[in-house]
Amino acid sequence: MSLLSIRGLTVTYATGAGPLRAVDALDLEVPAGSITGLVGESGCGKSTLGRALMGVLPDRGRIAAGQIVFEGRDILAESERARRALRWRRMAFIPQTAMNALDPVQRLSAQMAEVLIERGGLGRAEAAAQAAALFRLVGLDPARLSAYPHQFSGGMRQRASIALALALSPSLVIADEPVTALDVIVQRQILDVLRELQARLNLAMILVTHDMAVVAYACDRVAVMYAGQVVEAGPVAEVLERPLHPYTMGLTHAFPDVHDSAMALVPIEGSPPSLLNPPAGCRFAARCPFADPRCVAEPPPVRPFGQDHLVACWHAEQAPALRVRAADPQTWAAIA
């Protein structure tokens, strides 16, 4: 059974031109004890989804429809207070910029103590011991608890914000682009910390990222988002090696591989549709080299396909042939 089931979730933002459906009737299952990558480009709704789960949407945003079932509880049906308690104890958040999680004018020891004592109900001595244990867990020297965040490097700050997120032993951690702002070596070290903690503490994690390579390195499962919806989901190995959706196929040819010089990069021409007034049919149709009239007219439902693999494409049956065509730059050039 899933730790988290999202059903028909719609999140809207109020704009001058009407409600923008940043996440639109989205379904997603997150199993316990594994890392699920949520991958997509800016504006696809991946960060909005993470924030909606945590109840930290900006003022203009609201959950307009849908269900979030977490640890068997329909959390949107519960009181605001119950939800808030659940969110920090059982579900925790790691933002892209660690400075957003950390208070710049407080020592880290004070920030850890605040969470552990006020939210976790620990005594002062217990909290200090636990803070030291958490620092060790994320690879920081407990002696540095007396530091202020600005005295840390970017990677150390991100470790501290992970320690803070884990303070109350959540079962689910949502990390929003946790390594995007970091240099490549630090990036890798933070991903290793996340993977190790996931395994050691048997956490479930949602890792929001725009980078398919980060998904390939760190995740067990992946959900590919496009224009507010999940277009493909499944185990990472399955989705990377046998992508079923043309958008996923395009993404796998869109950025260079450090070990391959012969590779021809293929851009996905065009831009995502407006979410104020999304197209009637498949949202990717305007950029898809394989779209036909049906794709433009009718939205494809999400359907199971093969081993534990979901896809929203009318042409999934032809995926093996489409994968061959998708590797050819000419196929995509015709769209422009």
Partner 1 sequence: MTARVTPLLQATGLEKTFRSRGRIVHAVADVSLSVSPGEALGIVGESGCGKTTTARMLLRLEEPSAGRIVFDGTDITHLHGSALRSTRARAQLVFQNPFDALNPRFSIRRSLTEPLRNFGVPASEHRDRIDAVLRRVRLTPPEAWLDRKPHELSGGQLQRVVLARALIPGPRLIVADEPVSMLDVSVRAGILNVLREARDSLGLAAIYISHDLALIRYVCERTMVMYLGRVVEEGPTAELIATPAHPYTRALVAAVPVARVDQDRAALPIRGNLSDTPTAGAGCPFRDRCPHAMARCATETPLLRGIAPGRRVACHLEGAL
Q: Closer to partner 1 at the Cβ: 212 or 310?
A: 212
Q: How far is the CB of 199 from partner 1 (least distance, A)?
A: 12
Q: How far is the CB of 309 from partner 1 (least distance, A)?
A: 14
**Amino acid, single-letter form, for residue 45:** G
Of the candidates 279, 283, 273, 265, the one whose C-alpha atom is nearest the C-alpha of residue 332 is 265
Q: Closer to partner 1 at the Cβ: 103 or 241?
A: 241
Q: How far is the CB of 27 from partner 1 (least distance, A)?
A: 24
Q: How far is the CB of 217 from partner 1 (least distance, A)?
A: 5
- Using DSSP's 3-state secondary structure scheme, residue 9 falls into strand
- Using DSSP's 3-state secondary structure scheme, residue 226 falls into strand
Q: Can you list the pairs that 97-106 forms with residues at least 24 positions away whose Cβ atoms lie under 8 Å? A: 97/181, 98/149, 98/154, 98/157, 98/158, 98/160, 98/161, 99/149, 99/157, 101/161, 101/164, 101/165, 102/149, 102/157, 102/160, 102/161, 102/164, 103/149, 104/148, 104/149, 104/150, 105/148, 106/148
Q: How far is the CB of 41 from partner 1 (least distance, A)?
A: 4
Binding site for partner 1 (CB under 8 A): 41-42, 153, 155-156, 183-189, 191-192, 210-217, 236-237, 240-241, 250-259, 261, 263, 265-269, 271, 336
Q: Closer to partner 1 at the Cβ: 132 or 216?
A: 216
Of the candidates 317, 305, 231, the one whose C-alpha atom is nearest the C-alpha of residue 268 is 231
Q: Closer to partner 1 at the Cβ: 136 or 303?
A: 136
The gap between the terminal CA atoms of the chain, to the nearest Å, is 44
Instruction: Output the CA–CA distances (angstroms, integers) from residue 78 to 73, 74, 75, 195, in the order listed.
Output: 8, 7, 5, 32
Q: How far is the CB of 247 from partner 1 (least distance, A)?
A: 8
* Cα–Cα dist 61/167, whole Å: 28
* Cα–Cα dist 288/312, whole Å: 13
CB 198 within 8 A of CB 12: no
* Cα–Cα dist 238/183, whole Å: 29
* Cα–Cα dist 253/246, whole Å: 11
Q: Closer to partner 1 at the Cβ: 87 or 221?
A: 221
- 108: tokens are 């880290």
Q: Closer to partner 1 at the Cβ: 134 or 212?
A: 212
Q: How far is the CB of 187 from partner 1 (least distance, A)?
A: 7
Q: Closer to partner 1 at the Cβ: 132 or 254?
A: 254
Tokens 């081993």 belong to residue: 307
Q: Closer to partner 1 at the Cβ: 109 or 209?
A: 209
Q: How far is the CB of 260 from partner 1 (least distance, A)?
A: 8
Q: How far is the CB of 302 from partner 1 (least distance, A)?
A: 21
* Cα–Cα dist 292/42, whole Å: 26
Q: Closer to partner 1 at the Cβ: 199 or 324?
A: 199
